[in-house]
Amino acid sequence: MSDINARSDAFVFFGATGDLAYKKIFPALHAMVKRGHLDVPVIGVAKAGWKLEQLQARVIVEKPFGHDVVSARELNRVLLGAFDEASIFRIDHYLGKRPVHHMQFFRFANAFLEPFWSRNHVESVQITMAEDFGVQGRGAFYDETGTVRDVVQNHLFQVLSNLAMEPPVRTDSESTRDEKVKVLKAIPAITPDNIVRGQFRGYRSEKGVAPGSTVETFVALRLEIDSWRWQGVPFYIRAGKCLPVTCTEVLLRLRQPPTMFHGFGLEPNYCRFRINPDVTIAIGANVIAPGTETRSQIAEMVGTQLPRADEMDAYERVLGDAMHGDATLFAREDYVEEAWRIVDPVLKGGTPVYEYEPGTWGPKEVDAKVSPPGGWHNPTVRLP
């Protein structure tokens, strides 16, 4: 729950000249202006010291984002300044005397999930975040970051904690964040035998990338959650660039009960959640294969929520929550420390980086070293 007394009096964001700001933050601000939700000053901070006029020019995002000159003009009315990081202390001058999707809802608002949501019925959990593009001209940035730092210890650990957390005792942000921290505290640090790093062929030719770079553009890893609910259930995370599709998906593979249908080639049932590019839930179950009475095949029951014209973008929602003082979707300091505790040993110790072909699901070493029971589920994106 948000606290009305914690409502923000300004929106200050770092990386104002970067790719994320241009593709996500500014479009979200445009949408907030159109809805009448942005009524506080906006200040951008970046390493490259820009003047206010340059930041205002950056606001004019391209037409494919669906924003127009009117929203840009309105947004520029609340842009107060642009600073480099060294002069951030001057922000108070510009502020004057101003006083200083949802997976969690789906998880706890639907009763049918709870009976099988534990080690008693779940065999393994897979989380895949695939991108079918490369570094897109951001080689210098990416070569100092890599996949683990870029998306695993932040975005995908958030997905993981939403999946594995216990129900919070209250719906306020701190109670929710308490439960997320408990999940990470129960995860031992990653060891070298539980991770495979990869690099797509051609990455070292990207502008800004070191010729002999060992930075990963792909990672697959296995985690254990040493809690009462999840002890003994392996969690697998896979993320990378230049993969076959752009998609973020979760697959819970269920344990197989005893059966009377021997020889049918039964496969484990599963529950699949797609987070991006659409929102989908699917249940995979065995059915009799067409034309035979002795073999089975997996069929899916699928429900998809298609985006509506008036639907909030994820970044618009998270920015709105921040300005209204609702911290539920944001990582707390102890959460961040636990996330880094889990990944730091392998980042500092170094592990081999294997080359993979663009358009494949990563290096072949993944299947031999970090593969779920029954193998990885490779998402597909069907055109409407």
The catalytic site residues sit at: 155
Tokens matching residue 191: 């060891």
SS3 of 214-265: the string is CCCCEEEEEEECCCCCCCCCEEEEEEECCCCCCEEEEEEEECCCCCCCCCCC
328 SS3 class = coil
Radius of gyration of the CA atoms of the chain, in A: 23
Strands (E), the chain: 11-14, 42-46, 79-84, 122-130, 195-200, 218-224, 234-240, 247-254, 270-276, 279-288, 296-305, 353-356
Q: For residues 26 and 61, what is the distance between their CA atoms, to the nearest angstrom?
A: 7
- Distance between CA atoms of residues 271 and 281, nearest Å: 7
DSSP code at position 148: I
Q: Letter for the amino acid at 143?
A: D
Burial class from Cβ neighbours inside 10 Å (0-12, 13-18, 19+) for residue 296 reads middle
The span from the CA of 274 to the CA of 129, in Å, is 10
**Residue whose structure tokens are 């159109």:** 34
In terms of DSSP bridges, do strands 42-46 and 79-84 run parallel, antiparallel, or are they unpaired?
Answer: parallel
